[in-house]
Amino acid sequence: MIKGLKKWRLFSLLALFAVFMAGCGNEEISTFQPAGQVANDQFKLLLLASGIMLLVIIVVVIIYTVALLRFRRSKLGEDHIPEQVEGSHTLELIWTFIPIVLLLILAIPTVHYTYKLGDVKAMEAVDDEGNAENLVVDVTAKLYWWEFEYPDLGIVTAQELVVPTDEKVYFNLIAADVKHSFWIPSVGGKLDTNVENVNKFYLSFEKESEGLKDGVFYGKCAELCGPSHALMDFKVKTLPRDQFDNWVAAMQKTAEEPVVANADGEEVFAQSCIGCHAVSGVGESGAQGPNLASFGDRNRVAGYLEHDEENLKEWIRDTQKLKPGNTMPSFSKDQISDEDLDALAEYLMGLKVAK
């Protein structure tokens, strides 16, 4: 019986070990493959904590196993009455103080990193001409999408965060309806977007997203926010500083030089969509629906669907089916005919700023 149990344990352990060894997760989303200073600091803390904890587990398991092997009644005989030991002050002191020391080893870097990662003083810093020294992004989380405003650059985008690499990017986070939480696992830990106050933190992106599977890092909402919480994904594109500047310039130009891939589509858009969605990247946050100035460059429809016209059309026809509880109305054939929808899809897919 016990023998069978051991075999089973071994088998399941091996299976789990295999899974563990199979990988450190996917590069675009795993905390095991940090792509920035913040995630890296947290990863170092994870290694330290895991090391200490592994030590504790090993000690416990050794005592446990030896005790279990040596002191079985089947060996000692039915009538054996063990000595009724009261306890030991020395031992109590040992297993009080050694854990305290182990915890101090963990507590010191914990406090250090808590302050380091919470340091947002540089956010307000300006150079002699009054320009902000660091890039600041205002993030607004809404049911179930993300709005990213670059207040110092005068542009706004949604669903796909674009940031320069190798510098600290500061974030102001707030939620517009219910609480969400902003998380890019491979770049750094999460921070909640509360409804009543702005939370601030920084991340630094040290890997270009170009080589990744989809060319982007994955971002997630980490706080239960309603039926479509699971679908409230966003993507992060990291570019070298010069390419980022190009992107900013292109975004700023969308106000004067709109891209029109399909003129009929533009007309449909003007009738049905423009009430909530903007196609100019110049502006501020606070829109009803995601800004679509760079829609054609994006990676997903509705934050999670393959980025193609089929999905886009399905989405417009039945938004509640694809993302229950979201605030965008669905458009029936009476509202937008099939031909108009085709034109609209082509127009939307043509909204590109990147070359």
Closer residue to other proteins (CB): 103 or 249: 103
Closer residue to other proteins (CB): 106 or 132: 106
Pairing of strands 168-175, 135-142: parallel
Region for 302 from its dihedrals, namely left if φ exceeds 0, alpha if ψ lies in -120 to 50, beta otherwise: left
Closer residue to other proteins (CB): 109 or 151: 109
Helix (H) / strand (E) element for 41: namely helix 37-70
List beta partners, residue 158: 147
Least Å distance, CB 142 to other proteins, is: 12
Single-letter code of the amino acid located at 227:
P
Closer residue to other proteins (CB): 288 or 320: 320
Cα–Cα nearest to 162, from 248, 273, 39, 263: 248
Least Å distance, CB 210 to other proteins, is: 18
What is the 3-state secondary structure of 258-311? CCCCCHHHHHHHHHHCCCCCCCCCECCCCCCCCCCCCHHHCCEECCCEECCHHH
Contact call for residues 67 and 79 (beta carbons, < 8 A) = no
Least Å distance, CB 42 to other proteins, is: 5
Closer residue to other proteins (CB): 184 or 344: 184
Least Å distance, CB 79 to other proteins, is: 9
Cα distance between residue 35 and residue 243, in whole Å: 19
Least Å distance, CB 316 to other proteins, is: 20
Least Å distance, CB 204 to other proteins, is: 14
Closer residue to other proteins (CB): 213 or 241: 213
Closer residue to other proteins (CB): 147 or 340: 147
Packing angle of the helix pair 37-70, 89-117 (nearest 10 deg): 160
Cα distance between residue 63 and residue 160, in whole Å: 52
List beta partners, residue 182: 191, 221
Residue 2 DSSP SS3:
helix
Closer residue to other proteins (CB): 68 or 263: 68
Least Å distance, CB 123 to other proteins, is: 14
Is the peptide bond preceding residue 150 cis, with omega within 30 degrees of 0?
Answer: no
Least Å distance, CB 301 to other proteins, is: 13
Contact call for residues 225 and 178 (beta carbons, < 8 A) = yes
Residue showing tokens 């069978």: 4
